[in-house]
Amino acid sequence: MTMKKLLTAAIALLATQVALAGVKIEHWVSPSGARVYFVESRVLPMLDIQVDFAAGSMFDPAGKSGLAALTRAGLDLGAGKLDETAIAEQMADIGANLGGGADTDRASVALRTLSARDKREPALDILRTVLHSPRFETAIFEREKARTIASLKEALTRPDSIAGKAFWAAMYPNHPYGKQASPESVAMLNRDDLAAFHARYYTAANASITLVGDISRSDAEQIAESLAAGLPKGSAAPLPAPPQAPKGGLTKLPHPASQAHIYIGLPAIERGNPDYFPLLVGNYTLGGGGFVSRLMKEVRDQRGYAYSVYSYFAPLKQPGPFQIGLQTKRSQAQDAIKVARDVLDGFLKDGPSPDELAAAKANLTGSFPLRLDSNKKLLDNAAAIGFYGLPLDYLDQYQARVQAVTAEQIRQAFARHVRPAELITVTVAAD
């Protein structure tokens, strides 16, 4: 065996042991007050960093829907001494990528870079500048505002977007989750709104920083603190009152499309809710288990009504939706809705059979290694655990928590959270 081969074998063996030892998420609070989560992974010479702020669209001030998204989008369009071109070019010069975005809860800035010091240091310099001193230049802001308005107008012609917006508006009539950016709301925004939103929400106390990759704990500590230290100390963002149960009902919107888009659901649970595991395991049988769920069997396999049909729970900071979705030829929309409702009602009444429960557990526990087999997946998991304050041993406990779920717990959890009288149904382009 040559020296090189010996080296390969030794490192490959090491890598295996690291992977099999489970995921160790290290956690600390940086001196400046940001929560930090770190997974050391030495297999590939790369580093991923994600900085999450409680600065998603739920924090849009009244009448300023779209502000959170535009603020996030503006961060890397000019910061400190760098204009937008310099930021993009300098990142490209070292092969690094800046990503992220804003959803209802979180605004994220993500960096992927090679871990060699001469690559990662300049990448981190840019990341710090973007986080700490975005310029929000007026001319660039106006350009992005116009592009955002055009995209929103385009989305209002697409049946899936129309249905999605109407669905959230109906589920959350008096909660920020139901308020969405519109061409009109974005038109009202100005450059100072972005700067104010950044100053209030992009703070150390409102941040969680996740690092995954080829660095040591002490490097991670130093990097995290350098990211946090340039942010205002700030305070954690207070949450609005939780959403109230909506009055169930049907919203039927016209559209010339050949297919109807159908959503059925209601606000269900927040992250960390103890009913999460019964709902997760139960929903596998109902509509979560890809090709083997009851919805798939009845709507697609038995009747050929739809290409895609599913259900899921999307827990958020505050109760996020339970949702069933499908698309079908517009003339058979009412039949498809009836089948989907019958499947749901049957499941609410009886829960899963013993065989179905066993199949759900087998898949959810058996597929666990697939949830963690890349740095990207480790980052997603660790960042979510950090941002939502889930227990650090969440991943270690996952399989046991799934295994412990009983059929009775599933029936009870579904009865608590999926109340038929409160279900919202939205159709677009249904006859």
Q: Give how far Cα 54 sits from Cα of 115, 237, 258, Å.
A: 28, 7, 40
Among 302, 353, 403, 406, interactor with other proteins by CB under 8 A: 302
Among 22, 31, 290, 389, interactor with other proteins by CB under 8 A: 290
State yes or no: residue 186 binds other proteins (CB under 8 A): no
Q: In residues, how long is the chain?
A: 431
CA distance linking residue 254 with residue 236, whole number of Å: 42
State yes or no: residue 259 binds other proteins (CB under 8 A): yes
State yes or no: residue 187 binds other proteins (CB under 8 A): no
State yes or no: residue 301 binds other proteins (CB under 8 A): yes
Q: Which is nearer to other proteins, 11 or 404 (CB)?
A: 11
Of residues 106 through 145, those in contact with other proteins by CB under 8 A are: 112, 114, 116, 118-119, 143
DSSP codes, 119-187? HHHHHHHHHHHHHH-B---HHHHHHHHHHHHHHHHHHTTSHHHHHHHHHHHHH-TTSGGG----HHHHH
Q: Which is nearer to other proteins, 124 or 205 (CB)?
A: 124
Nearest approach in angstroms of CB 250 to other proteins is 15
State yes or no: residue 292 binds other proteins (CB under 8 A): yes
DSSP assignment letter at 351: -
State yes or no: residue 303 binds other proteins (CB under 8 A): yes
Nearest approach in angstroms of CB 371 to other proteins is 10
* Nearest alpha-carbon partner for 428 in 238, 225, 33, 156: 156
CA distance linking residue 209 with residue 226, whole number of Å: 11
Stretch that binds other proteins, among 129-137, 146-154, 228-236, 343-351 (CB under 8 A): 146-154
CA distance linking residue 28 with residue 37, whole number of Å: 7
Q: Which is nearer to other proteins, 63 or 95 (CB)?
A: 95
State yes or no: residue 341 binds other proteins (CB under 8 A): no
Helical (H) or strand (E) element with 227: helix 217-229
Q: Which is nearer to other proteins, 61 or 290 (CB)?
A: 290
Among 24, 93, 174, 187, interactor with other proteins by CB under 8 A: 93
Residue 167 CB contacts under 8 Å (≥ 6 apart), including other chains: 251, 263, 265, 321, 323, 424, 426
State yes or no: residue 297 binds other proteins (CB under 8 A): yes
Nearest approach in angstroms of CB 165 to other proteins is 10
Nearest approach in angstroms of CB 30 to other proteins is 26
* Nearest alpha-carbon partner for 316 in 376, 401, 388: 388
State yes or no: residue 400 binds other proteins (CB under 8 A): no
Please say whether the beta carbons of 227 and 34 come within 8 A: yes
State yes or no: residue 300 binds other proteins (CB under 8 A): yes
Please say whether the beta carbons of 305 and 260 come within 8 A: no
Q: Which two tokens stand for residue 243?
A: 């959403």
- Separation of CA 289 from chain center: 19
Of residues 48 through 77, those in contact with other proteins by CB under 8 A are: 76
Among 36, 70, 162, 385, interactor with other proteins by CB under 8 A: 162
Among 36, 54, 79, 149, interactor with other proteins by CB under 8 A: 149
* Nearest alpha-carbon partner for 286 in 251, 311, 258: 311
User: Total residues at the site for other proteins (CB under 8 A)?
Assistant: 84
Of residues 352 through 391, those in contact with other proteins by CB under 8 A are: 359, 362-363, 365-370, 372-376
Residue 348 CB contacts under 8 Å (≥ 6 apart), including other chains: 411, 414, 415, 418, 420
Stretch that binds other proteins, among 53-61, 64-72, 84-92, 186-194 (CB under 8 A): 84-92
Stretch that binds other proteins, among 60-68, 81-89, 189-197, 313-321 (CB under 8 A): 81-89
Beta bridge partners of 47: 113, 213
State yes or no: residue 334 binds other proteins (CB under 8 A): no
* Nearest alpha-carbon partner for 91 in 123, 116, 119: 123
Of residues 1 through 40, those in contact with other proteins by CB under 8 A are: 4-5, 7-8, 11-12, 15-16, 18-20
State yes or no: residue 191 binds other proteins (CB under 8 A): no
